[in-house]
Amino acid sequence: MTIYFIDGQFTKKDSLNISIDDRGYYFGDGVYEVVKVYDGELFTAEEHIERLFQSASKIKLAIPYSEQQLIDIAKELVKANDVKTGHVYMQVTRGASPRVHQFPELAVTPVVTGYAIHSPRPIKNIEGGVSVKTVEDVRWLRCDIKSLNLLANVLAKQEAHEADCTEAIFIRDGVVTEGSSSNAFGVKDGVVITHPATNLILNGITRRVVLELCKELGISVEERGFTHDEMNEMDEFFITSTTSEITPVVNIDGKAVGSGTPGDVTKKLQEAFARQIPLSVARD
Ligand code: PDD
């Protein structure tokens, strides 16, 4: 049975004191993070919690804990749920108050909730690659905020799912931005190309790890928006996220990418990434 963190307590109940008036429930008025767990240890936890505070600050939300306290809560959730390979989910909403759009007049305490669950690494996708579908990016202009408001992402992922694809890739004004829950990268003539970390994408933690690995491996990088047409001409394509790591994309809108199998640059990056995580879970 999952142990949750709700209302300052570790509890088996999944809705302890969660109010119908919670602004997360009404408005998606909150922020969240997903942190990977390998071998019972949090991976890049500081970076995730730092981004949680940045997202909160961008929506003028004060988290009632310190960064260290949230890391300690995440660690406790991993322990309490005995998670070896999996992830921690944490979210903060603006709290519970009768429904009006503007912030509550009276100070309300933001609601912090979280849990840790077992989830195996998606080895089949990581090794064999996935298919993706392109969709129009109809999201707002603050995609740099990891907001709970994910309706456009949900609809995009569902559209991809119905087309037997693993991920939806957003296109805004003819330019590839990112996936519905991942960052997107193309490889052309050995150069890794990805959208710059502007307001139009979430600056993924895995994205940052990959850019660092490119530097270490001497792989050239261009952080620039590339067009839908360029995307269709890439030698390789891959997506990154906390849960999908580095996943090769072998098919875009029904057309094979390159040879239709994971490319050499992608595989090199995957190998370097695998060296960063504990060996005992490398195949979990
Ligand atoms: N999603 N872009 C979007 C829109 C995302 O939702 C995510 C992550 C990423 C990749 O970020 P990171 O490498 O920090 O996980 C990019 C998480 C995993 C989710 O919503 O489940």
DSSP bridge partners of 255: 252
For the chain, percent of residues with pLDDT exceeding 90: 94
Position 136 scores a pLDDT of 98
| Predicted confidence (pLDDT) per residue in 122-151, tens digit | 999 999 999 999 999 999 999 999 999 999
Whether the CB of 251 sits within 6 Å of ligand 1:
no
How far apart are alpha carbons 108 and 96 in whole angstroms? 7
**Would the CB of 182 count as within 6 Å of ligand 1?**
yes
CA 242 – ligand 1 centroid, Å: 7
Measured in Å, residue 36 CA sits from the centre of ligand 1 at 11
For residue 187, give the nearest of 117, 243, 242, 269 by alpha carbon.
269
Atom 8 of ligand 1, nearest CA residue: 181
Question: Using a 6 Å cutoff on CB, does residue 240 contact ligand 1?
Answer: yes
What pLDDT, on a 0 to 100 scale, did the predictor assign at position 283? 60
Q: Is the predicted pLDDT of residue 226 greater than 80, yes or no?
A: yes
Q: What is the mean pLDDT of residues 179-204?
A: 99
pLDDT tens across 59-83, in order? 999 999 999 999 999 999 999 999 9
Determine if ligand 1 sits within 6 Å of the CB of residue 243.
yes
Which band of pLDDT confidence, cut at 50, 70 and 90, is reported for residue 248?
very high
Domains, the chain, ordered by start: 3-118 (3.30.470.10), 123-282 (3.20.10.10)
Q: Is the dihedral of CA 35, 39, 44, 50 positive or negative?
A: positive
DSSP 25-37: HHH--EEEEEEEE
pLDDT of residue 21: 97
Residue 201 CB contacts under 8 Å (≥ 6 apart), including other chains? 143, 144, 177, 178, 183, 195
Per-residue DSSP letter, 103:
P
Distance of CA 182 from the midpoint of ligand 1 (Å): 5
d(CA 225, CA 170): 12
Residue 42: CB atoms within 10 A of its CB come to 21
220 and 250 Cβ atoms separated by less than 8 Å: no
Question: Ligand 1 in contact with 157 (CB < 6 A)?
Answer: no
> What is the per-residue pLDDT for 107?
86
Residues serving a catalytic function are 146
Residue 181 CA to ligand 1 center (angstroms) comes to 5
As a whole number, the mean pLDDT across the chain is 97
What per-residue confidence (pLDDT) applies to 208?
Answer: 98
